[in-house]
Structure 1
Amino acid sequence: MPSFNPFTSVAGRNVCTLFEIRLENDFIVFRGNEHEASGQLLKGVLVLCLRESLKVEDVHLRLMGSCRVAWVDGKQTPSGIHNQKMDRTTTILRHTWPPFVGETTHHNTLAPGNYEWPFEFLLPGDTAESVEGLYQTGITYVLKATISRGKLAKNIHAYKRFRIIRTLEPAALEFNHAMSVENIWPNKIEYSVVVPQKAVVFGSNIPLEMRFTPLLKGLEMGVISVKLIEIQEFSVQGYQAPVRSYKHDRDVTSWNLEVTREQHWQDNIEETGQEGWVIKKELPLPKRLSRCIQDCSVHGIKIRHKLKLTVALQNPDGHISEVGYYTHFIF
């Protein structure tokens, strides 16, 4: 993103000491999906500070929302690996405010002093959320302010990015339900894994509750390995061709949980009469978008997450068995 620098006149003197876009909020939050969310107001002010007079044609402000979908897919061919590249950028939102200066004439002189021009725009409830943190692919929103100087002088620009965040409605009960996996390995172990609710707040913790009841005398628990996997799916509709798509999984982070009889064994699990190991853990999620982004499905960008759990079992005869399973969730 272009950075702000002092601006100079033709004579080399600093004319603009400040040209900046200021927003009331750098994060615009929509509650609910695109069909149920209310519009949200983007509101701010354009600030200009002049040391001396400045001739301008106009001062205007534009809003642009862009979606970029890009990937490189390596295909094995008889002659080797052939890389197929897709890279497409589309404009998903555009708005231009009437000029703050120069609406009626292109010959204007701004006197020295400080200027503030307020602006606002109601973002529709179905505006796509920002997607940041992926390599090349993403959805971004930027404001661009311009002082048009005419043909004989360079225009002056200021930029401001902001993020659109979409959250679940508190009444979205389908995401508050617990997710559970229950199964039996005959003559070996009975187990259950519970994630108390399907939706997890980004950057918080995943609560995990596990129970293991041995069905084989002398069976012991080994390490439980938990891996967070992000499923990225991108698609582009061709102008005169079928949809092109790409899918990629990336390992976000992992945890190794030590299980011992001293810490986790219970002779009577919650008065059920069963004995076994009970493990309750809070798994901390990454807090940076570059490592893990939110779940979404918008403009050909689909992100999902799942946990892969692998449990090592120490058999009485000394060999190690493993049981594995997945659970999906949203944040």
Structure 2
Amino acid sequence: MHGTPQECAGNVLRGQLVLEVSEPTKIKSIKLSFQGKSKITWPGVQNEEKVLFEHDWVFLHPKKYHILEPGNYQWGFELILPGSLPETVEGCEHGSIQYRLKAVAERHSFALNLSTQKKITLHRCSFLNTEDALDTVVANTWANRVIYDISVDLKTFTLGDEISLSVNLELLGRDLRIHEYKCAFNECVTYTVGSNKRSSAKTLKSVRGVDFHRDGGIWSDSLKLRIPNTCLYDSNNHIIQISHQLKLSIIFITDDNRFIELRATLPVTVTLNTDDMELPPYREYIPYKTYSCDIYDNLENINFSLPSYDSVISNTPASSMDLSAPPIYVM
């Protein structure tokens, strides 16, 4: 998804359901479902689990049974996903947002149903040319004693990126000396259940400064901090909000040996790398290899186009198989 839930036009989920039959099999129905669910489990707060979005397909309508001859059958599907859907959120301590496809081939009463599931990950990539994304500086005067200027080279990052933080200080009080300073990269997660909100925060990484360099009345230094790959992406949906910030702490010592601390925060955004959004066209999709025979080794003979919803088409079969005939329907 590109952009915020308010500005995103949505996206299309496309795919194929593939069923391999190794012997004549009685199937009552074949269905596919897509569902998005959120779950919040915060101790002391009312837990909540709800369905965000769902859609069902029926590829073989329920009957007493259909007989499927040996072979591979494919059903194409596609679904328009609204741009307002919250993105996938996993790895949080007290909640999650997940999407999943589930296929079920229903069999007769004394046989186990065939079923499989596939997780669908929905990422949201924010536009990087907004005014907020370009705001990379925090400057102010602290207690009429220090003028500070804190800046980063970028405001939006992805996993594994290195943040370069520049700090410039002008000490207005002659009784101040810089004792130590450090920068922490913090992650905050807020969960919403009805009108209740609960937040948790943790420091993912921190780095200490080595030494300020003095040029006239200006003290300056630069710190580098790499975003860990375990970091979550920023999220601003109505269920789980995730944000990140750089928190700078500078401790001064006065002439009378008292310690005072300057704290400043600079929000940063962690988002999906836009290079990861360049997916191949759907017609370049290559089906997986089945377990019974290597029917996809000769790719020149494969038709990758989607079948219609009402058709049941087999892939390239072995020469001894005749899969051109449709399934046998028994009332």
TM-score normalized with structure 2 length = 0.73
Matched, 1:250 2:189: no
- Structure 1: which amino acid aligns with 2:198? Y
Match of 2:85, SS state, is coil
Report which of the two has the higher share of strand: 1
Seen in structure 2, the aligned counterparts of structure 1 residues 90 and 104 have a Cα distance that, compared at 3 Å, is closer
Distance 1:319 1:297 in 2: 41
Distance 2:144 2:8 in 1: 49
Corresponding residue to 1:323 among 248, 262, 266: 262
Q: Which has the higher contact order (CA 8 A, sep 6+)?
A: 2
Distance 2:24 2:94 in 1: 42
Distance 1:60 1:106 in 2: 15
Runs (5+) with no aligned partner, structure 2: 271-331
- CA RMSD, aligned part only? 2.5
Distance 1:301 1:104 in 2: 39
Deviates more, 1:313-322 or 1:300-309: 313-322
Seen in structure 2, the aligned counterparts of structure 1 residues 97 and 256 have a Cα distance that, compared at 3 Å, is same
Number of the residue aligned with 1:207: 164
Matched, 1:133 2:91: yes
Query: Is the CA contact (8 Å cut-off) linking 1:226 and 1:255 kept in structure 2?
Result: yes
Number of the residue aligned with 1:228: 185
Distance 2:129 2:96 in 1: 29
Query: Is the CA contact (8 Å cut-off) linking 1:180 and 1:195 kept in structure 2?
Result: no
Query: Is the CA contact (8 Å cut-off) linking 2:137 and 2:149 kept in structure 1?
Result: no
Seen in structure 2, the aligned counterparts of structure 1 residues 203 and 90 have a Cα distance that, compared at 3 Å, is farther
- Structure 2: which amino acid aligns with 1:277? W
- Structure 1: which amino acid aligns with 2:2? R
Distance 1:138 1:221 in 2: 43
Number of the residue aligned with 2:218: 276
Number of the residue aligned with 1:152: 110
- Describe how 1:13-92 pairs up with structure 2 within 5 A: 30-72=1-43, 84-92=44-52
Runs (5+) with no aligned partner, structure 1: 1-29, 73-83, 238-242, 268-273
The count of aligned residue pairs is 270
Query: Is the CA contact (8 Å cut-off) linking 1:307 and 1:327 kept in structure 2?
Result: yes
Query: Is the CA contact (8 Å cut-off) linking 2:180 and 2:209 kept in structure 1?
Result: yes
Matched, 1:182 2:140: yes
Deviation at 1:196, TM superposition (A): 4.3
Query: Is the CA contact (8 Å cut-off) linking 1:222 and 1:259 kept in structure 2?
Result: no
Query: Is the CA contact (8 Å cut-off) linking 1:131 and 1:140 kept in structure 2?
Result: yes
Query: Is the CA contact (8 Å cut-off) linking 1:198 and 1:329 kept in structure 2?
Result: yes
Distance 2:19 2:8 in 1: 35
User: What is the percentage of aligned positions where both structures have the same residue?
Assistant: 24
Distance 1:108 1:176 in 2: 60
Deviation at 1:280, TM superposition (A): 2.3
Number of the residue aligned with 1:119: 77
Distance 2:116 2:107 in 1: 14
Corresponding residue to 1:302 among 224, 234, 241: 241
Deviation at 1:321, TM superposition (A): 4.1
Deviation at 1:183, TM superposition (A): 2.0
